[in-house]
Structure 1
Amino acid sequence: MSSNEPKLTVVGAGLVGSLLSLYLARRGHTVEVLERRPDMRRETLDAGRSINLAISTRGLHALRQVGLEEEALKHAIPMRGRVIHPVKGELAYQPYGKDDSQHINSLSRGWLNQFLMTRAEETGRVKLRFRQRVTQADVTAGTLTVLDEATGETREVRDAVVFGTDGSGSAVRQAMQPRPEFHATQEPLGHGYKELTIPPGPGGGFQMEKHALHIWPRGAFMLIALPNEDGSFTCTLFLPWKGPLSFAALETPAALEAFFQEQFPDAKALIPGLVEEFFARPTGHMVTVKCAPWRAGGRTLLLGDAAHAMVPFYGQGMNCGFEDCVVLDSLLAKQQDWDEAFQAFEKLRKTNADAIADMAVENFIEMRDSTGDPRFLLEKGVEKVLLNAFPGEFVSRYTLVSFSRVPYRLAYEVGVIAGGIVAELSQGLTRPEDVDLDAAAKLIRGRLTPFMKEHADGFRSEG
């Protein structure tokens, strides 16, 4: 960038904004970060957001580029598969990958956000300013009107390059909406979510399997639990807003306890603060946001949830946002013009963001409806057999999304082909190990191999 470059302003000091400011500082830029909330390192914030993240290959790669992966993994708990909790009967375990080396990681959102903010400040090039609300923005001029909610004073930021990383309710995105070429859709999920806690057991031990994501699938709703460093589990109840089994129906402690006793009896026994937590904590909303364009010339660019909010059921919201930072950084390394870099960024990322948003909604249906279904379990077993029998030839959608940096759009399309192969091979089977490997070889080499060869560059992608 030229020596008389405009100032760089990042709106939003969440996970993506904090990491982006680190990447920009590493390129020698001076960055101002504006955050509406107080400094979470000094004040406790509880906005109802999930306090756990599932960080996987894409997110870890982004941290690795700025030397932070090793420290993050010290605070992460590997989750090697799902443990399915039926209402009655034995637990079922579904591994995520072909072996234990393929796992996702439970990590504290709050810890990671604070860690990234502190590391950004330590560069000496990033200034974080809190309680700063953007009230107006001219996205083509790079001008922001900012209210300091601590002092009540208003100021203007002029001639900036603005990066909107201010989440699904982005003020920067809202400022783009009057432009005739801009369009956006927001699709709220008909479910909300509420967080609960399974505390550590005696001596600080885990009361359930530590290295797993626990799911209680119940058709139209579900409960999940992720492990924490202190031996506790963060549980999240996903439930429709309205209906006979909904948040609207759980208005009294008696109704809540009866619901949990009927649907999640083993979890209820482990949540001593069920009633107090349920009625004290906010109920979160979930929305899929798709919009375009993400940029206004070389002055404003949307990244992360501001550009492509998604529901949390593939564990990829943060991973996708972190990958945005990697891709933009690689473009800035080659491109001296902000406008051209932003155009290239949107071209690379838009189709992939749409793909993972769609997969996240599909995975919600799988998690709540299918994970306890015998047919689904059989097909998952066949998939694992194929992953081990045909390494490098057979790949699954989940493997590509969580354990590679292959573009999300290719992962989506592979999932359609691979899923069809698995379904065909599973017909008439009662045990996964009885799958016909000769038939599998023909199907894989007839359908999947040609697709992967056609898109070989994407499968070598750096994300």
Structure 2
Amino acid sequence: MVIIGAGLVGPVAAMYLARRFGPVTILERRPDPRRRAGRRGRSLTVMLSARGWRVLSDLGLAEQVRAMCIPLHGRCAHLPDARPHVTPYSRDGQPIWSVERERLHHLLLDAAEATPGVRIHFGQRVHAVDLDEPAVLVEDQGSHRRLTCRHILGCDGAHSTARAALVARGARAELRNLQLAYQEVEVPAGWLDRSTMHYWPAGDVLFAAFPMASGAFSGSLFMRRDGPAPSYATLNRGRDLFDEFAARFPEPTATIPDLAEQLATSAVSTLSLVRCDRWVWRDTFALLGDACHAMAPFMGHGMNCAFEDARTLVDCLDSTKDWAAALAAYERSRTEDADAISDLSYQHYYTMANPPQDQSAGAKGALRKRLVDLFPDRFVPLYEQCAFTEASYASVLRDDQRLDGLVEGLLRRHGTGLVTASDSQLRACTPLARNTVSLEEPGCS
């Protein structure tokens, strides 16, 4: 078996598969990141939630990873009037976990190389994939070779060469950049609570900071790539950008001594979205992770979803040794879920970019919150279902849409006075034909 890409999901897929089916070769076009000197790469931190922990537990890596993580119990909005507003991630105090991407990546590479049958080759650019033989055309130090194999997994990210082979056979794929771009800014330690992530909402601009094991915070400035000011296209990377940041976010500005230098020199990165209507080819080929569903980072589920891809693929293979049937089942199981979490991830930016008091403004938001509080077993908040269960993302989205429909129906029938009705009156008005929200388990059927 050949896996294209040694990012986060490639080593995970290799460890799952080598233990079941024998030798796996990973081909990675970049040099070994463990040998790289100098500044770290982009995306300093990633989030781990229930789906990611399930996979790490399967692979025997959960305790090692947990030792390098920081538990986060909520998000703290720093509002324009300087009031902090903390929103817990769960109603029972469960945390999600922040981990430095580079440290996690190195651990996964080490664990994969320690797995019998797994070999990782760096500096190997895959130029083309033959789905039928199957085979890959690989460039190594200027020379080309054709490597034949039995199965190919494409784990090579948003700009996937592997996906291009499916597109050449008629698959429809969309790769586009969001209008948002971002810069990473390192934030010094000592002034922010390390039990939460922090963000400063400003509508069309957002600054967020996540704690790191070093004590410092990993900050990200999000702003439009182009269009009317403020945007990266309209602001000079020198004084203009610093002045815009200082006007929007005075608190971080006062505590980051080299802010002007960081804003002037750190890379402006784009956010890529990928959708693909086909993920597999017969019994030889499958896509995983960003190669088939790159998403916005605002729900923190890109990596968790990719890890779940690998586990679902293996579950399907475990249920039948027929690779064609297993790959088809994997595709059926994952595509709707990937579309759902991609939509939710993009929408979540607007939840964060607008102050919390605005999110519940109006009768609809207020009644929705009351129903969640009054019927905690029936109405589980969307973020909580995504982060702390393994319910399919598509079912989570449907549950949330049903709750919206219920709220709208109640307001039509009873008016906005229902928002301030007593608990007993609200209970009497709310149909409870089903006692709990349906949580559909991901699987191969």
> What residue in structure 1 maps to residue 220 of structure 2?
236
Structure 2 residue 263 is the aligned partner of structure 1 residue 282: no
> What residue in structure 2 maps to residue 76 of structure 1?
69
2:145 counterpart SS class: strand
CA–CA distance in 2 between the matches of 1:377 and 1:217?
Answer: 20
Could you give the per-residue CA deviations for residues 72-103 of structure 1, whole angstroms, max 9, x where no partner exists? 111111111111112333111111211312x2
1:63 counterpart SS class: helix
> What residue in structure 2 maps to residue 269 of structure 1?
254
**Cα distance change, pair 326–87 in 1 and its aligned pair in 2 (3 A):** same
**Cα distance change, pair 277–450 in 1 and its aligned pair in 2 (3 A):** same
> What residue in structure 1 maps to residue 156 of structure 2?
166
Could you give the per-residue CA deviations for residues 128-179 of structure 1, whole angstroms, max 9, x where no partner exists? 100110111112322111011xx32221111331100001111101122221
Q: Return the letter of the residue paired with 2:210.
A: L
Q: Contact (CA 8 Å) 1:47, 1:282: kept in 2 or not?
A: no
> What residue in structure 2 maps to residue 3 of structure 1?
none
CA–CA distance in 2 between the matches of 1:132 and 1:415?
Answer: 44
Q: CA deviation at 1:415?
A: 1.0
Q: Return the letter of the residue paired with 1:324.
A: D
Could you give the per-residue CA deviations for residues 273-325 of structure 1, whole angstroms, max 9, x where no partner exists? 21222222211111221112111111111011101111111111001001011
Identity %: 32
Structure 2 residue 170 is the aligned partner of structure 1 residue 186: no
Task: Write out aligned runs for 1:88-107 (5 A).
Answer: 88-101=81-94, 103-107=95-99
Could you give the per-residue CA deviations for residues 108-135 of structure 1, whole angstroms, max 9, x where no partner exists? 1111111111101111211010011011
Measured on the aligned residues, the alpha-carbon RMSD in Å equals: 2.5
Q: Contact (CA 8 Å) 2:71, 2:98: kept in 1 or not?
A: yes
Could you give the per-residue CA deviations for residues 32-82 of structure 1, whole angstroms, max 9, x where no partner exists? 001111111111486863111111111111111111112211111111111
The more displaced of 318-327 and 272-281 is 272-281
> What residue in structure 1 maps to residue 133 of structure 2?
141
Could you give the per-residue CA deviations for residues 369-404 of structure 1, whole angstroms, max 9, x where no partner exists? 353526359988876765564343221211111110
Residue segments in structure 2 that go unaligned for 5+ positions in a row? none
Q: Return the letter of the residue paired with 2:181.
A: G
> What residue in structure 2 maps to residue 37 of structure 1?
30
Task: Write out aligned runs for 1:40-439 (5 A).
Answer: 40-44=33-37, 49-101=42-94, 103-148=95-140, 151-180=141-170, 182-201=171-190, 207-242=191-226, 243-371=228-356, 373=358, 375=360, 386-387=371-372, 389-421=374-406, 427=416, 436-439=422-425
Q: Contact (CA 8 Å) 1:394, 1:444: kept in 2 or not?
A: no
> What residue in structure 2 maps to residue 4 of structure 1?
none
**Cα distance change, pair 46–342 in 1 and its aligned pair in 2 (3 A):** farther
**Cα distance change, pair 380–317 in 1 and its aligned pair in 2 (3 A):** farther
Q: CA deviation at 1:225?
A: 0.8
Q: CA deviation at 1:451?
A: 8.2
Q: How many residues in Structure 1 have an aligned counterpart in Structure 2? A: 439
**Cα distance change, pair 366–137 in 1 and its aligned pair in 2 (3 A):** same
CA–CA distance in 2 between the matches of 1:174 and 1:398?
Answer: 33
Q: CA deviation at 1:420?
A: 4.7
Q: CA deviation at 1:338?
A: 1.5
**Cα distance change, pair 55–341 in 1 and its aligned pair in 2 (3 A):** same
Q: Contact (CA 8 Å) 2:74, 2:195: kept in 1 or not?
A: yes
Normalising by structure 2, we get a TM-score of 0.91
**Cα distance change, pair 301–461 in 1 and its aligned pair in 2 (3 A):** closer
